[in-house]
Amino acid sequence: MSKICFLIPDGVGIRNYLYSDLLKILHQEGHEVVIWHALDQKVVELAAQINGFTPQQSTFTAYSEDFIVQLLRESSTYARLRHNVQITGNPTIMLNWHEKKGSFARKALIWLSEKVGKRIKGYQSLVATEGIYFARLRKTEAYQKYKSQLKEINPDVLFCTHQRYSGAAYALAAGDDLGISTMTAIFSWDNLPKARLPIRANSYTVWSKHMAEELRFYYPEIQENQVLITGTPQFDFYRNAHSILSREDFAARFGLDVSKHWVCFSGCDVKTSPHDAAYLEDVACALKDQQDIQLIFRQVPVENVDRYQQVLTNHPEIIHLNPFWNKGKFWNQFFPLPEDIAHLVNLSYHCATAVNIGSTMALDFSWFDSPGLYLNYDHTQGQEWTVNDIYRFQHFRSMGNWDAVVWANSPSEILDQVRKILNQHDSVATDRKLWLQRIIDPDPLRSASEKLAEAIISTKKAVLPA
């Protein structure tokens, strides 16, 4: 039997890994499970209740980063973004570069990284620069501390649940040098074009064949046998019929009118959609006098409702369903509660559509064959943030020419499009299932947790390129 250590560097991995069946499957098969984390202990207790056992634990400590390491990483990131623009012909990729905000030191780092990144010419020079970055981080205190800690944990496999966390690079490098099989998950369908892979592992788990091809496209130095198609546990929860309440029970629990059609406006974070409150206002106005429609609002879980409050005051008919998240002062105190999973499943199952600005929720709703409605217009002519950029992001090219979502190109179109969704369900967004299958590649026989468990326990140490 194997000893598997899950490095959970931030709250992103909680739902997919601590609350899914993955740990339970490994435990039931006789493997030792360790979680290496800095999370609130309440999370571990909740996960133990779900999984029926408490895994071993080790504290993951974040260390101050060496400036040269940061410079090498950010310069490589900037160079990769420029390279990705060239190979895709999509200039919106550069919008994923850092904004020049924050302290003087941070602004200086970003400015200098741009200067250095522009001097990295050609892909081989880019890979060589990343090689220097990985060599440099191996000389840091963080690397030595993690290496010592891994010797104590002594796992057979080290699995990092989120590939974007730069601090995990030191830990995975230490694990690799100790002969531990290292793995990481590409967390989201939009991550790969953004050049946010500051770590390297022996194996990478991805959602689908489409994502596997993307990983090899953007990182051709990663070998094909290092990329494992497992799916993502975040969609496993939709397979569980026991999570779904009857329409009557769901309505009674959250104050909804069971006789009406439910439309869900799912909020985006302030960076993705800074004018989100204005869009909620548009939807509320469009549906206000419709006696058979009830508008539900769920904000993005990591934000409060301050920027929406005036809209909610103006439109008391909106049913605000607050996400079930624990919120605190520090990042590790923000995490989903298990109730939020069932809540999201039921929203996706019972609502007719999800309305938003390019959110992944369109995929969630497609699981239950409900079309997403994307708002596709700006509020102010010439505004800096524009939907013309949002919907040209690289991950939306996965739609191809498919009719995957419903579009509202102005506020005046919202009601008509909602009515089409309600009355002509099978004739709108007719390719939504094809898009879903391309992105997440669902297996009708096995869950992502089952496939991940199999991949983890059968993984062999891969040889990384020099």
Average pLDDT of span 139-158? 97
Burial class of residue 103 in the structure, from the number of CB atoms within 10 Å of its CB (0-12 exposed, 13-18 middle, 19+ buried):
exposed
194-249 confidence digits (pLDDT tens): 999 999 999 999 999 999 999 999 999 999 999 999 999 999 999 999 999 999 99
| DSSP 8-state class, residue 446 | S
Kindly tell me if the per-residue pLDDT of 465 is higher than 50: no
Average pLDDT of span 139-152? 97
Is 240-440 in the same CATH topology as 3-62+140-231+446-458?
yes
In CATH terms, the fold of domain 240-440 is Rossmann fold (3.40.50)
pLDDT band at 154 (very low <50, low <70, confident <90, very high): very high
- Poorest-pLDDT segment among 208-222, 250-264, 344-358, 370-384: 370-384
Whether 212 contacts 227, CB under 8 Å: yes
Q: For residue 358, what pLDDT is reported? A: 93
Average pLDDT of span 46-50? 96
| DSSP 8-state class, residue 64 | P
Higher pLDDT, 382 or 235: 235
Distance of alpha carbon 258 from alpha carbon 30, whole angstroms: 46
pLDDT band at 331 (very low <50, low <70, confident <90, very high): low
What proportion of the chain, given as a percentage, has pLDDT over 70? 98
Q: For residue 327, what pLDDT is reported? A: 80
Domain ranges of the chain: 3-62+140-231+446-458, 67-134, 240-440
Higher pLDDT, 258 or 328: 258
Q: For residue 332, what pLDDT is reported? A: 62
Kindly tell me if the per-residue pLDDT of 11 is higher than 80: no
Q: For residue 261, what pLDDT is reported? A: 98
What proportion of the chain, given as a percentage, has pLDDT over 90? 88
pLDDT band at 381 (very low <50, low <70, confident <90, very high): confident
pLDDT band at 334 (very low <50, low <70, confident <90, very high): confident
Kindly tell me if the per-residue pLDDT of 330 is higher than 80: no
Cβ-proximal residues to 34 (8 Å cutoff; 6+ apart), any chain: 3, 4, 5, 6, 55, 56, 57, 58, 153, 155
- Poorest-pLDDT segment among 250-259, 301-310, 407-416: 301-310
Q: For residue 380, what pLDDT is reported? A: 81
Distance of alpha carbon 159 from alpha carbon 13, whole angstroms: 11
pLDDT band at 460 (very low <50, low <70, confident <90, very high): low
Average pLDDT of span 136-150? 97
Q: For residue 302, what pLDDT is reported? A: 84
Distance of alpha carbon 194 from alpha carbon 192, whole angstroms: 5
Kindly tell me if the per-residue pLDDT of 310 is higher than 60: yes
Kindly tell me if the per-residue pLDDT of 396 is higher than 90: yes
Its CATH architecture, for the domain 3-62+140-231+446-458, is 3-Layer(aba) Sandwich (3.40)
Cβ-proximal residues to 446 (8 Å cutoff; 6+ apart), any chain: none
Q: What is the spatial order of strands in the sheet that 3-8 belongs to?
A: 56-59, 32-37, 3-8, 157-160, 181-185, 203-206, 227-229
Q: For residue 384, what pLDDT is reported? A: 82
pTM, rounded to two decimals: 0.94
Kindly tell me if the per-residue pLDDT of 273 is higher than 80: yes
pLDDT, averaged across the chain: 94
Average pLDDT of span 318-342? 86
Whether 380 contacts 284, CB under 8 Å: no
Question: Beta-carbon neighbour count of residue 344 at 10 Å?
Answer: 24
Q: For residue 243, what pLDDT is reported? A: 93
